Structure 1
Amino acid sequence: MKYYISIFILLIVYAVFLAPGSSNASDPIMMNLLSGRFQEVDPLVTAVFSMLGIYPVIFLMLLLPKDKYRLPAWPFAILSFGLGAFSILPYMALRGRKTRSKTRVPLPVEKFILHPIFVSVLLLVTLIVYGTAFYGSLQAYNEAFTASHLVSVMTVDFFIVLWLCYDLLKKDWGCRYALLAFLPALGPLLLLLFRTRWKAAEQTETN
Structure 2
Amino acid sequence: MLRKVSLFSLWMGFVVYAFFLAPPDQPDTFDLIKKLSLGQWQGINPLIISLFNIMGVWPLIYSAVVFTDGRCQKIPAWPFATASFGVGAFALLPYLFLREPNQEFVGKKTIFIKLLDSRVTGIILTVIAGILVAYSVQGGDWQDFIQQWQTNRFIHVMSLDFCLLCILFPLLLEDDMARRGWKNHQIFWLISLVPLFGPLIYLCLRPALPETETTGISKQQATVN
Normalised TM-score (structure 2): 0.77
Change over 3 Å in CA distance of 1:106–1:162 after alignment to 2: same
**Contact in 1 for aligned 2:47/2:140 (Cα 8 Å):** yes
Q: Which amino acid aligns with 1:158?
A: F
Secondary structure of the 2:74 match is coil
Query: 2-side partners of 1:66 and 1:29: how far apart?
Result: 35
Of 3-12 and 21-30, more deviation after overlay is shown by 21-30
- 1:188 paired residue number: 199
Change over 3 Å in CA distance of 1:52–1:82 after alignment to 2: same
Of 175-184 and 62-71, more deviation after overlay is shown by 175-184
Aligned partner (choices 122, 125, 131) of residue 122 of structure 1: 125
Change over 3 Å in CA distance of 1:128–1:100 after alignment to 2: closer
Query: 1-side partners of 2:43 and 2:50: how far apart?
Result: 13
Query: 2-side partners of 1:96 and 1:88: how far apart?
Result: 14
- 1:95 paired residue number: 99
**Contact in 1 for aligned 2:103/2:176 (Cα 8 Å):** no
Unaligned runs of 5+ in 1: 198-207
Q: How is 1:52-201 mapped onto 2 (pairs within 5 angstroms)?
A: 52-67=55-70, 68-96=72-100, 98=102, 102=106, 106-134=109-137, 135-174=139-178, 176=185, 177-179=187-189, 180-196=191-207
**Contact in 1 for aligned 2:67/2:78 (Cα 8 Å):** yes
Query: 2-side partners of 1:70 and 1:94: how far apart?
Result: 9
Query: 1-side partners of 2:38 and 2:82: how far apart?
Result: 22
The percentage of aligned residue pairs carrying the same residue is 27
Query: 2-side partners of 1:183 and 1:38: how far apart?
Result: 29
- 1:205 paired residue number: none
Change over 3 Å in CA distance of 1:26–1:187 after alignment to 2: closer
Query: 1-side partners of 2:88 and 2:157: how far apart?
Result: 11
Query: 2-side partners of 1:31 and 1:144: how far apart?
Result: 17
Secondary structure of the 2:39 match is coil
- 1:203 paired residue number: none
How many angstroms does 1:96 deviate by? 3.7
Change over 3 Å in CA distance of 1:23–1:34 after alignment to 2: farther
- 1:15 paired residue number: 18
Q: Which amino acid aligns with 1:151?
A: I
How many angstroms does 1:158 deviate by? 0.7
Q: Which amino acid aligns with 1:87?
A: A
How many angstroms does 1:173 deviate by? 2.8
How many correspondences in the alignment? 196
**Contact in 1 for aligned 2:69/2:105 (Cα 8 Å):** no
User: RMSD in angstroms over aligned alpha carbons?
Assistant: 2.5
**Contact in 2 for aligned 1:76/1:91 (Cα 8 Å):** yes
Query: 1-side partners of 2:29 and 2:120: how far apart?
Result: 42
How many angstroms does 1:22 deviate by? 2.8
- In the TM superposition, what whole-angstrom CA distance separates every residue of 1:120-159 from its partner, at most 9, and x where no partner exists? 1111111111111102122111111123211011011111
**Contact in 2 for aligned 1:30/1:148 (Cα 8 Å):** no
How many angstroms does 1:101 deviate by? 5.9
**Contact in 2 for aligned 1:63/1:77 (Cα 8 Å):** yes
